[in-house]
């Protein structure tokens, strides 16, 4: 995850990997959002995932599983591009300063052998996460609206006879958000997204630990181990699973905040719908379903995160190596 490649290469490879993973796993992401925000008590757990997929296919066709794919893929590419750029840039600065401190005489030291402490790794990841989220939050808000335009249709028994309305496109949703709340409406849930920046930070930290464990089995002269595709997939997938489980109540609150409309006549009657703050959302979710309400849709999110994060890091590592191989080939041609 943190290679010694320049920030721009890491940013491009990270963005490409995230976009590829998003295109592959998008139906899981959409289902996870629907399950997380449904008011139907039947749509829970793995059974709820299957029921949601079945209902979407029956009412919207297979294309319904890709509502909002364009904006979400763009958001994922930009988010990962910015995150990896900021992360690698900030980390490189910290590593260079740490190297100068360790070797005040100015002797060369391999940056790949410089190890940051846990607070340093998490701190750099957190700052990079806040910076990237501040830019791509509007795309996330639009995507959540597109994904939940049919959110009340998850209950098959109550909605079997209701015709599916013509779904709005990204432009329609953008106009709707602006008419409701102005420009600030595109940053709904950003305050909740700030602590959620610990999600990629912790994932990066756990993956760094994974790489250091791999390094134990490498020759002492080797730089920090570059995982194989399988190792990159498993390391990133399990890291993402752990951090998602810990931070899931924040993910739940952010989704509710981003999907809500400015004026919802049902909001005073249904404890499962929009609330004005993270605390109120948690309070209503707890009142409705006890502690399990804070983890509504966790199973779908874990399945989606496990596959998506694993694929993203696997693709990222391969793209980095491809770019590096092309660079070496050009360098050899020039110097041959």
CB count in 10 Å sphere of residue 137: 20
Give the confidence band of 150 by pLDDT, cuts at 50, 70, 90. low
Interatomic CA distance for residues 114 and 117, integer angstroms: 10
CB count in 10 Å sphere of residue 266: 11
SS percent in the chain: helix, strand, coil, step 5: 75, 0, 25
Q: What is the pLDDT of residue 164?
A: 46
Q: What is the pLDDT of residue 111?
A: 55
The chain-wide mean pLDDT, for the chain, equals 76
- Taking 70 as the threshold, does the pLDDT of residue 299 lie above it? yes
Q: What is the pLDDT of residue 317?
A: 77
Interatomic CA distance for residues 170 and 142, integer angstroms: 7
The single-letter DSSP state of residue 50 is H
For the chain, helix (H) and strand (E) counts, in that order, are: 11, 0
Q: What is the pLDDT of residue 269?
A: 39
Give the confidence band of 156 by pLDDT, cuts at 50, 70, 90. very low
Q: Are 72 and 29 in contact (CB under 8 A)?
A: yes
List of domains in the chain:
7-335 (1.50.40.10)
Tell me whether residue 216 is exposed, middle or buried, using C-beta atoms within 10 angstroms of its C-beta: 0 to 12, 13 to 18, 19 or more.
Answer: exposed
- Taking 80 as the threshold, does the pLDDT of residue 176 lie above it? yes
Give phi and psi for 216, each to the nearest 5.
-60, -30
- Taking 70 as the threshold, does the pLDDT of residue 264 lie above it? no
Q: What is the pLDDT of residue 290?
A: 84
Q: What is the pLDDT of residue 89?
A: 86
Q: Are 71 and 139 in contact (CB under 8 A)?
A: yes
Per-residue pLDDT reduced to its tens digit, 282-295: 888 888 888 888 88
For the chain, give the percent of residues with pLDDT over 70.
78
Which positions ≥6 away from 18 have C-beta within 8 Å?
76, 77, 79, 80, 312, 316
**Average pLDDT of the segment spanning 259-263:** 61
């Amino acid at each position: 995850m943190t290679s010694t490649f320049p920030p721009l290469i890491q940013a491009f490879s990270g963005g490409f990997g995230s976009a590829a993973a998003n295109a592959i796993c998008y139906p899981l992401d959409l289902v996870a959002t629907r399950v997380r925000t449904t008011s139907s008590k039947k749509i829970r757990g793995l059974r709820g995932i299957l029921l949601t997929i079945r209902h979407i296919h029956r009412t919207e066709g297979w294309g319904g599983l890709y509502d909002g794919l364009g904006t979400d893929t763009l958001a994922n590419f930009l988010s990962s591009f910015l995150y990896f750029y900021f992360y690698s840039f900030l980390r490189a600065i910290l590593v260079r300063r740490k190297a100068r401190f360790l070797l005040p005489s100015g002797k060369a030291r391999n940056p790949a052998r410089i190890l940051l402490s846990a607070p340093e790794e998490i701190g750099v990841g957190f700052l990079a996460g806040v910076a990237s989220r501040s830019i791509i939050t509007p795309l996330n808000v639009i995507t959540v609206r597109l994904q939940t335009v049919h959110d009340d249709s998850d209950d098959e028994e109550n909605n079997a006879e209701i015709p599916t309305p013509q779904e709005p496109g990204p432009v329609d949703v953008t106009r709707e958000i602006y008419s409701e709340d102005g420009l600030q409406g595109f940053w709904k849930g950003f305050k909740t997204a700030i602590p959620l920046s610990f999600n990629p930070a912790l994932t990066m930290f756990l993956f760094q630990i994974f790489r250091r464990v791999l390094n134990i089995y490498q020759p002492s002269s080797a730089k920090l181990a570059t995982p194989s595709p399988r190792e990159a997939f498993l390391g990133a997938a399990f890291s993402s699973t752990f951090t998602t489980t810990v931070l899931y109540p924040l993910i739940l609150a952010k989704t509710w905040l981003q999907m809500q409309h400015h004026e919802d006549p049902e909001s005073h009657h249904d404890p499962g719908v929009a609330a004005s703050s993270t605390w109120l959302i948690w309070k209503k979710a707890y009142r409705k379903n006890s502690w399990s309400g804070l983890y509504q849709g966790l199973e779908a999110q874990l399945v989606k995160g496990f596959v998506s994060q694993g694929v993203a890091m696997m693709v990222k590592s391969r793209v980095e190596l491809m770019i590096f191989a092309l660079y070496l080939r050009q360098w050899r041609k020039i110097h041959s």
